[in-house]
Amino acid sequence: MRYIKLIIISAVVFFAMACIVAFFIPSRIRVFRMTSLANDRDSVLNQVRDLAQWKKWYPGFENVVLSDELVKNGRVVKATANGISLVVNESTDSSVVVSMQKGSSPIISGWQINKDERNDSLALQGYMDFQLKWYPWEKFSSLMLDKSYGDLITRGLRDLKK
């Protein structure tokens, strides 16, 4: 009986400590990468604005078939790919924001082009925003988002650069 109490008290204290540490991890995480481009701004962003073009550059979309497509101005702006809902939320002359949702919380992906004053080229930034719940295991798992999704963003930027 004494050992059972010790185990229960230890588990409660461990969970409380995990919750306290998780409280200091932010609920909104942004993973981003950047690359320099010599290409034209419009040609790069046109690849991102049109979901049908993603199979040419977005990692993992090479063999994906889009369904439930919504076409505006000759571009696919809403579609479903392998159970993931994709919606182009914002499209300007310098940025594109896409919402990806499979499950309860969406992942916001964005691409932004800025003039790089240092070397007379364009700087293309890709990012993914994650909104986390308060659960300690979700907050601690966010510590691995940079490695897993950072590599995905890097490959996508590299393919866009080509």
SS3 state at 14: helix
Does 151 reside within a domain? Answer: yes
Mean pLDDT, rounded, of the chain: 84
Does 9 reside within a domain? Answer: no
Domain range for 154: 26-161
pTM, entire model: 0.77
Does 145 reside within a domain? Answer: yes
Tell me, what CATH number does 53's domain have? 3.30.530.20
Does 8 reside within a domain? Answer: no
Tokens at residue 132, please?
């986390």
Does the pLDDT of residue 151 top 70, yes or no? yes
SS3 state at 127: strand
How many structural domains compose the chain? 1
Does the pLDDT of residue 99 top 80, yes or no? yes
Which H or E run includes 34? strand 28-37
